[in-house]
Structure 1
Amino acid sequence: MASGNDIEKGQVNGSDSINAERGGINVGQLKFTLNTSLWEADSPLPFSCCIFRVPEVLRRRKVQAYEPDIVSIGPLHRSADPKFKLVEKVKEWYLKCLLERPTTTITLDSLIEGMKELEREARGRYSDPRNDLDQNDFIRMLILDGCFLIELFRKARDESRQDYDDPIFNAPCMLEYLYHDLLLLENQLPWSVLKYFYDLIESGNPGAEPLSKVVIDFFRDSVADPSIFSDRKSESTPEILHIVDLIRTSLVQEHKDEPDEDPKAAPLPSNHLPQRIPSAATLTEAGVTFRIPKEPKAGSPGGCILNITFKDGVFSIPPLAIDERTDPLFRNLMAYEQCYHSCTHKITSYAVLMDNLIDTAKDVDLLCEKGIVANWLSSEDASKFFNDLYDNTTVIDFVYKRLCTRVNDYHRSAWMRRTWIRWKNKLRSDYFDTPWSTISFFAAFVLLVLTFLQTVYTIQQYRHSPN
């Protein structure tokens, strides 16, 4: 119960005291608390956010697909975890080598001043800006992580830049771990930060490649088939947000949306998924043919892995190589599509369609025979990869709606075609396998017709004869 002193101080009034005595609420205190929290409230996900913590509903399906193994980039996994200790030392060593390079004009002062200008923007890119990191800690992180990444990409591109005692390039496993870690959604730096350091470091090199090409070339060795990545046509359009955004763009930028065959048809809801299509093995039994496009390479027109077509019973699917690295790549790309407001669900749509086509190891084997899937896993693991990939995701504007409708229409009419084919084959084998059997068939047919006509004539003659 409130004391008399509290009332005298104006903290509560008489009714508040009575409410407190009766086990009620202190209205004044509650109002003050709510006003304070509302005054400080802001959107937990500002429009500028593009680097997210993966939603728990996705993470719990396969935690290791979203967690870094040896390096933390950005604030979301910044910690004193011993597994990051080696690469944290490499970051400091790379920065030291950069500053001591004989030809460099870069100073620690210039790096700090540059990051002071970008620090506020960079924080706004994260769904969790780690406000426990003050400005000094955040800027230190941006400098160490950004310079490390740019030096890593440059060293990988030109072996002459690699130091004799560089642990990243002396231990073959290190690059494999880095490929995994640097393609995680939670392990990103804003592109503006990377671009600043790259332009600064390459300022004296007029022949320097665009940063986007340097990054894509680095990650070509991170996948079983490097041709799935296509070079960006422009450095500025659309805006690059981070490395995962760049990799996704390189996969989907050549995707061609199918034209609407019936513009008068009512559009389906954006979150509508059509009926599942049968598996590859079932469609093959219905007469569907699977093949790769004539120009399957990602760098050629129409070579994007998303450019899947179905016409006249022919499924045309660009090839995809899968191994143990494919799963975390696709999961993080799909997590990005699920979280970022300006991302179309193209990779997620691809995962849904491939899951439709692949139900069992038999479907994997069939697509492998056709050259559509290059599988470095077991057939069972490959089918499980596709079956589990898009669990708990949402698909908005599924890009294969019309294709699935055509496939299902074709499959529904397949039984009529199969019945006709079986009847035709049986007729050919039973009655037309030799010239004599063909002559006998037609002779019997003519005799049957003549007999029928004679019967009709006899009936007509009987009906019209006088009684």
Structure 2
Amino acid sequence: MNNKQPNQMESSAMSVDEMAMSSSWVVEIERYISGDAGSSMPGVMGRGSKPGHSIYRVPEYIKNMTNPNAYRPQVVSLGPFHHGDPALILMEKHKCRAVANLVKRSGKPLLEFIAVVEEIKVQLQDAYENLEDIWYQGTRFVEMMLKDGCFLLEMARVFELHGRVEDYESDDSVFSKHGCLYLFSGIQSDVVLMENQLPLLLLHKLINVAYGHASNYAMDGTDKETTVAAAGTNGMEAAPAMAAGSGSCSCTVVEIDVDDDAEAAAAAPRRTRPRPSIYRVPNHIKNMTNPDAYRPRLVSLGPFHHGEAELQPMEKHKHRAVAHLVERSGKPLREFMAAVEEIAEQLRAAYEDLDDERWSGEEFVELMLTDGCFLLEVMRAFQLQREGKKEEVEEGGDYEADDPVFSEHGYLYLRCDIISDVLVMENQLPLLLLDKLCHVAYADNLQEEERLRINDDSVLSFLFSSSDDAPAIDGPLGLHPVDVVQRNIRGTCHQNSGRRSNGVFMIPCAAELQEAGIRFKVAAADAGGGFAGAITFRGGVLTIPLLHVMDSTESMFLNLMAFERMHPGAGNDAMAAVIFMDNLIDTARDVALLKSRGIISNLFGSDEAVAALFNNLSKGAVMSPHSSLYGVQRQVIAHCRKRRNRWRASLVHSYFRNPWVFISLVAAFVLLAATVMQTIYTVIPFYTKS
């Protein structure tokens, strides 16, 4: 019995030892003790181990310390962590174009680029911490690295050359001066995000293939070879090289995925269809300020918001509009349908990324006819109400006097909401459609056609209801209402032709400019030139047109700026005007000053609310150095920097800004004068007696 107990204890101890030795966690710790597991744990390096990770997912507890959105890319995904994010998907097609252009310009076959990426595939995968299994399977990782790397190299080249590249169209939405102006800050911010990194080893290899040597490529203003050689900071230079074609990836399969997209883009004509002019606003633009400003509230126009539940109540009124317009014209409905079908392809091309499967048939023609007739009828009804001819709406079997939309009631209660929706970027109708329908409807009535014909002036008159706000515009018919308003802001202003400057000119606020001796004057109503073009600075006088600030001002400017961002050739005038007004307005005091000079008409709320409006509108906005307002700001800054003007501003700021300080200054001066006079009268008798 006594002999048996030690044997049992010994057996039990051996069992525990065997279990412990066979446990995975024990084996893992033993590996760390012996220094053989350096690469098994992120960030732990053992002797003889391969490099650790250098690109990490930021833990949630770190994100939640401040602003979680600061760790997410807003414009483009680079690398696997945010690949496929729906908010960033718009840039994927431009990545394929970047591959096509870089490969074509290099004169090398695409297979050579694929091979060099596959050669370093394992090293690239090792750079990312906790990479998902999907990136170790198939060809997706090599395809993604090639596209993202080529895209970043092409963007770096475009930025370095300030958009002056010859292998892209001059009005390219990304790889052009337009892209430099509107995408530089967004892409620059995305490139420095921890979760959105590309190993510099990848860029180094791609440059070597494309140009033969890293130093032949301009990535930034620093030494090129030094910049690319910084790939060593990712700890991947010591890893053994892999032969092309090794590993789990097949060049042939990758060629199908990448080659089809890239070479098809390279072989395609530069412009296979007209450039779209009506866009979906990306989330990163919406989230800068007020996302609701980019959505219609009452009526959908066009395909982007068609069928949304909250906009359905207006659909029945659209059908009534078609019936009334067709009946009044005396033409058959099929004639209107034929007119829309004649231009259907042009209308489809106006919408970016339109769902061709849904909108390729008669449904699109029906939608365009219904929405177009509705907008024409609204414009006619509101014009007659504005001219005091409401009886014309009611006579001849037209609309009833108590019609909920096409009557005085609709003009009073729906006009502001409808006009606000007409100025939403995603809710546009091409003016080509309205012009075509108007011609069919009034071809036999020249007087009516002349009064109701579609042109930029009639659109502005409908939107602003005032000849003061709608100066005549010369030139061809606008693309859509937002384009017409943008052109109206631009007016006939000329681009700044002065020497390009790398400086950023931010003028002081209105109150400080007044202290510096600058006077403010409202521009004459008949000055023309649009809002931006009418702003001038001459002889110490800053002349600015009247600006009505109302509830729809925020939505209008946000959608105008979105159009300028997304449509090459639209200009920079609305955005420049917003930045200029934001520079002038810091506080309610500046608003009050501009109101007193007749420059601002406040129909929005308090002066504090107006100041907050412009301070928020300018988030993410940029001003082109070629803008006329850029030149105006330079002139204002030059005036303020003159010594006498600085002294005057300092004097006014210190002694004349507050009435009590001024009274104290006057009292001190009077006291000093009295003291001097008393001294004089005290001394005079002494000399008289002598």
Taking structure 1 as the reference length, the TM-score comes to 0.76
- Any residues of structure 2 matched to 1:165-176 within 5 Å, and which? 165-168=402-405, 169=407, 170-171=409-410, 172-176=412-416
1:402 aligns with 2:625: no
Amino-acid identity (%) = 26
Cα shift at 1:276: 0.9
Quote the residue 1:76 is aligned against.
Answer: 304
Quote the residue 1:243 is aligned against.
Answer: 481
Q: 1:302–1:185: structure 2 CA closer, same or farther, 3 Å change rule?
A: closer
Q: Which amino acid aligns with 1:137?
A: E
- Aligned equivalents of 1:195, 1:356: Cα separation in 2: 40
Quote the residue 1:416 is aligned against.
Answer: 647
Q: 1:403–1:55: structure 2 CA closer, same or farther, 3 Å change rule?
A: same
Q: 1:116–1:35: structure 2 CA closer, same or farther, 3 Å change rule?
A: farther
SS at match of 1:274: coil
Matching residue within 517, 536, 539 for 1:312: 539
Cα shift at 1:216: 2.0
- Any residues of structure 2 matched to 1:266-345 within 5 Å, and which? 267-268=499-500, 274-293=504-523, 296-297=524-525, 299-301=526-528, 304=531, 306-345=533-572
Q: Does the CA-based 8 Å contact 1:71-1:84 persist in structure 2?
A: yes
Q: Which amino acid aligns with 2:339?
A: G
Q: Does the CA-based 8 Å contact 1:274-1:404 persist in structure 2?
A: no
Q: Which amino acid aligns with 1:330?
A: F
1:161 aligns with 2:393: yes
- Aligned equivalents of 1:167, 1:120: Cα separation in 2: 34
Matching residue within 106, 118, 124 for 2:349: 124
- Aligned equivalents of 2:630, 2:490: Cα separation in 1: 17
Q: 1:173–1:44: structure 2 CA closer, same or farther, 3 Å change rule?
A: farther
1:183 aligns with 2:423: yes
Cα shift at 1:193: 1.1
- Aligned equivalents of 2:428, 2:370: Cα separation in 1: 13
Quote the residue 2:248 is aligned against.
Answer: 24
Quote the residue 1:229 is aligned against.
Answer: 470
Q: Which amino acid aligns with 2:500?
A: L
Quote the residue 1:463 is aligned against.
Answer: none
Q: Does the CA-based 8 Å contact 1:53-1:127 persist in structure 2?
A: yes
Q: Which amino acid aligns with 1:216?
A: L
Quote the residue 2:491 is aligned against.
Answer: 253
Cα shift at 1:409: 2.3
Cα shift at 1:150: 1.2
SS at match of 1:78: coil
Cα shift at 1:358: 0.6
Matching residue within 423, 428, 436 for 1:196: 436
Q: Deviations over 1:428-451 (max 9, x none)?
A: x789989x98xx9xxxxxxxxxxx
- Aligned equivalents of 1:378, 1:73: Cα separation in 2: 33
Matching residue within 367, 376, 379 for 2:607: 379
- Aligned equivalents of 2:442, 2:428: Cα separation in 1: 22
Q: Does the CA-based 8 Å contact 2:494-2:628 persist in structure 1?
A: no
RCO higher in 1 or 2 (8 Å CA, sep ≥ 6)? 1
Q: Does the CA-based 8 Å contact 2:491-2:530 persist in structure 1?
A: no
Q: Which amino acid aligns with 2:480?
A: H
- Aligned equivalents of 1:33, 1:343: Cα separation in 2: 35
Range moving further from structure 2, 380-389 or 409-418 = 409-418
SS at match of 1:186: helix
Cα shift at 1:392: 1.3
Quote the residue 2:461 is aligned against.
Answer: 217
- Aligned equivalents of 1:383, 1:252: Cα separation in 2: 23
Q: Deviations over 1:352-395 (max 9, x none)?
A: 11111111111111111222111122111101111121211333
Q: 1:311–1:125: structure 2 CA closer, same or farther, 3 Å change rule?
A: same
Matching residue within 109, 120, 139 for 2:365: 139
Q: When you count helix as a share of all residues, which structure comes out higher? A: 2
Matching residue within 141, 152, 168 for 2:378: 152
Matching residue within 308, 313, 318 for 1:86: 313
1:351 aligns with 2:578: yes
SS at match of 2:357: coil
Q: Alignment RMSD, CA only?
A: 3.5
Quote the residue 2:340 is aligned against.
Answer: 115
SS at match of 1:290: strand
Q: Which amino acid aligns with 2:375?
A: L
Aligned residue pair count: 400
Cα shift at 1:30: 3.8
Cα shift at 1:314: 2.0
Q: Does the CA-based 8 Å contact 1:280-1:358 persist in structure 2?
A: yes
Q: 1:418–1:325: structure 2 CA closer, same or farther, 3 Å change rule?
A: closer
Taking structure 2 as the reference length, the TM-score comes to 0.53
Q: Does the CA-based 8 Å contact 1:364-1:383 persist in structure 2?
A: yes
- Aligned equivalents of 2:343, 2:650: Cα separation in 1: 69
Q: Deviations over 1:123-155 (max 9, x none)?
A: 111112221323211111111111111122112
Q: Deviations over 1:196-232 (max 9, x none)?
A: 00111111221223412332221124xxx76222123
Q: Which amino acid aligns with 1:166?
A: D
Q: Does the CA-based 8 Å contact 1:157-1:214 persist in structure 2?
A: no
Cα shift at 1:50: 0.9
- Aligned equivalents of 1:303, 1:398: Cα separation in 2: 13
Cα shift at 1:281: 1.1
Quote the residue 1:458 is aligned against.
Answer: none
- Aligned equivalents of 1:402, 1:378: Cα separation in 2: 31
Q: Does the CA-based 8 Å contact 2:576-2:622 persist in structure 1?
A: no
Q: Deviations over 1:55-88 (max 9, x none)?
A: 3222112111110012111111122x22221211
Q: Does the CA-based 8 Å contact 1:357-1:363 persist in structure 2?
A: yes
Q: Does the CA-based 8 Å contact 2:425-2:562 persist in structure 1?
A: yes
Q: Does the CA-based 8 Å contact 2:491-2:529 persist in structure 1?
A: no
SS at match of 2:350: coil
SS at match of 2:414: helix
Cα shift at 1:33: 4.1
- Aligned equivalents of 1:39, 1:412: Cα separation in 2: 55
Cα shift at 1:274: 3.2
Q: Which amino acid aligns with 1:390?
A: S
- Aligned equivalents of 1:420, 1:366: Cα separation in 2: 19
Q: Does the CA-based 8 Å contact 2:280-2:425 persist in structure 1?
A: yes
SS at match of 2:520: strand
- Aligned equivalents of 1:300, 1:31: Cα separation in 2: 60
Q: 1:340–1:45: structure 2 CA closer, same or farther, 3 Å change rule?
A: farther
Q: Which runs of 5+ in 2 are unaligned?
A: 1-136, 139-245, 385-389, 656-664, 681-690
Q: Does the CA-based 8 Å contact 2:532-2:574 persist in structure 1?
A: no
- Aligned equivalents of 1:99, 1:239: Cα separation in 2: 24
Q: 1:66–1:45: structure 2 CA closer, same or farther, 3 Å change rule?
A: farther
Cα shift at 1:95: 1.1
Q: 1:132–1:226: structure 2 CA closer, same or farther, 3 Å change rule?
A: farther
Q: Which amino acid aligns with 1:173?
A: Y
Q: 1:28–1:50: structure 2 CA closer, same or farther, 3 Å change rule?
A: same
